[in-house]
């Protein structure tokens, strides 16, 4: 596969296009691009092979002398926010985002948690093309670190008084989403009354890639949030719109870069 980053990373079919060899090349290139002794953040989603390919990226980056902070299964905004909040030098998200479940992506992130401009991703691509992957590739994920509390604190700081407050009733269908474990806790911490329609453990995910047709009639006075595919986006289904949704979404899109 040609190594060429688009507007949202390098994406393709898992193992057919985004191969272990390619992950090694990109991992080494990122390590060289940021430089020895830098600290890079890593997260991945729940798709088949995501943890394995993330482990190869981690091992490749560490081979260049950088330190990799492993956030484990994490929504992309969490990885971006932690790079920004903890002042890491950059990072990588291994995710297919909204694409079909058999695809995956490698999304480099800069020191403020944003996707680098095209000029910079071209530099990474050029470095990757020079790398020859070893005949036997061994991936290894560093010990996972949990920054859930830091992310919750970050959201509350960014949104401030625009948060909805207590009393809102939400029925959550998290499907096989990256945020399946995280989102219910977030909504509870924001003061919502949450009924989680999916309670399966992350270790068994993803059994369902898209939200099912949940028994909405069982929650006539509730708002329903479903999380399709990798959980980077949420869909609000309700008879009326929340007045707080627009300002909160706007705040999260425009947090300081």
Q: Kindly calculate the radius of gyration of the chain based on its CA atoms and give it in whole angstroms.
A: 19
Mean pLDDT of 155-184: 70
Where is the domain boundary, 146, 172, 203?
A: 146
CATH assignment of the domain containing 31:
3.40.120.10
* 3-state secondary structure at position 76: helix
pLDDT at 202: 41
Beta bridge partners of 216: none
Q: How many CA atoms lie within 13 A of 207 on its CB side?
A: 8
Q: Are residues 30 and 132 in the same domain?
A: yes
Q: Are residues 39 and 159 in the same domain?
A: no
Q: Are residues 17 and 137 in the same domain?
A: yes
pLDDT at 201: 45
Q: Are residues 54 and 89 in the same domain?
A: yes
Q: Are residues 154 and 130 in the same domain?
A: no
Q: Are residues 235 and 132 in the same domain?
A: no
Q: Are residues 97 and 208 in the same domain?
A: no
Q: Are residues 28 and 134 in the same domain?
A: yes
pLDDT band for position 111 (cuts 50, 70, 90) = very high
pLDDT band for position 193 (cuts 50, 70, 90) = confident
Predicted confidence (pLDDT) per residue in 11-52, tens digit:
999 999 999 999 999 999 999 999 999 999 999 998 899 999
In a domain? residue 52? yes
In a domain? residue 5? no
> What does each C-alpha distance from 8 to 49, 116, 148, 188 come to in angstroms?
19, 9, 24, 31
Pairing status of strand 103-109 against strand 90-94: antiparallel
Where is the domain boundary, 94, 111, 146?
A: 146
Q: Are residues 40 and 109 in the same domain?
A: yes
The better pLDDT of the pair 59, 181 is held by 59
Predicted confidence (pLDDT) per residue in 208-226, tens digit:
444 444 445 555 555 655 5
Where is the domain boundary, 88, 119, 146?
A: 146
pLDDT above 50: residue 157: yes
> What does each C-alpha distance from 70 to 67, 114, 138, 216 come to in angstroms?
10, 18, 17, 37
Q: How many domains does the chain have?
A: 2
In a domain? residue 34? yes
Q: Are residues 115 and 203 in the same domain?
A: no
Beta bridge partners of 225: 172, 236
Predicted confidence (pLDDT) per residue in 119-145, tens digit:
999 999 999 999 999 999 999 999 999
pLDDT band for position 240 (cuts 50, 70, 90) = very low
> What does each C-alpha distance from 128 to 117, 132, 217 come to in angstroms?
17, 9, 52
Residues above pLDDT 90, as percent of the chain: 46
In a domain? residue 3? no
Q: Are residues 110 and 170 in the same domain?
A: no
Beta bridge partners of 171: 195, 224
CB 30 within 8 A of CB 119: no
> What does each C-alpha distance from 98 to 47, 189, 211, 220, 234 come to in angstroms?
11, 26, 13, 29, 11
pLDDT at 166: 67
Domain of residue 20, residue span: 10-146
Q: Model pTM? A: 0.76
pLDDT at 156: 73
In a domain? residue 172? yes
Mean pLDDT of the chain: 79
Q: Are residues 141 and 158 in the same domain?
A: no
pLDDT band for position 198 (cuts 50, 70, 90) = low
């Amino acid at each position: 596969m040609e190594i060429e980053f688009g507007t949202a990373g390098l994406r393709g079919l898992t193992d057919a296009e985004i191969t272990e060899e390619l992950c090694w090349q990109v991992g080494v290139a990122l390590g060289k691009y940021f430089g020895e002794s830098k600290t890079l953040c890593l997260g991945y989603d729940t798709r088949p092979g995501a943890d394995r390919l993330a482990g190869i990226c981690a091992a490749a980056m560490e081979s260049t002398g950088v330190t990799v902070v492993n956030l484990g299964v994490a929504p992309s905004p969490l990885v971006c926010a932690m790079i920004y909040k903890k002042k890491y030098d950059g990072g990588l998200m291994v995710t297919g985002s909204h694409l079909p479940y058999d695809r995956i992506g490698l999304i480099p992130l800069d020191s403020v948690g944003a996707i680098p401009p095209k000029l910079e991703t071209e530099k990474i691509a050029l470095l990757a093309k020079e790398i020859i992957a070893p005949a036997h590739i061994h991936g290894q994920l560093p010990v996972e670190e949990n920054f859930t509390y830091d992310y919750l604190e970050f959201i509350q700081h960014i949104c401030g008084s625009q948060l909805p407050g207590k009393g809102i009733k939400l029925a959550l269908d998290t499907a096989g989403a990256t945020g399946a474990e995280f989102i219910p806790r977030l909504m509870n911490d924001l003061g919502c009354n949450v009924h989680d329609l999916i309670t399966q453990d992350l270790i068994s995910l993803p059994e369902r890639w898209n939200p099912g047709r949940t028994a909405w009639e069982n929650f006539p006075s509730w708002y329903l949030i479903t999380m399709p595919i990798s959980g980077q986006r949420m869909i609000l289904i309700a008879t009326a719109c929340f007045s707080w949704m627009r300002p909160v979404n706007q705040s999260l899109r425009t947090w300081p870069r």
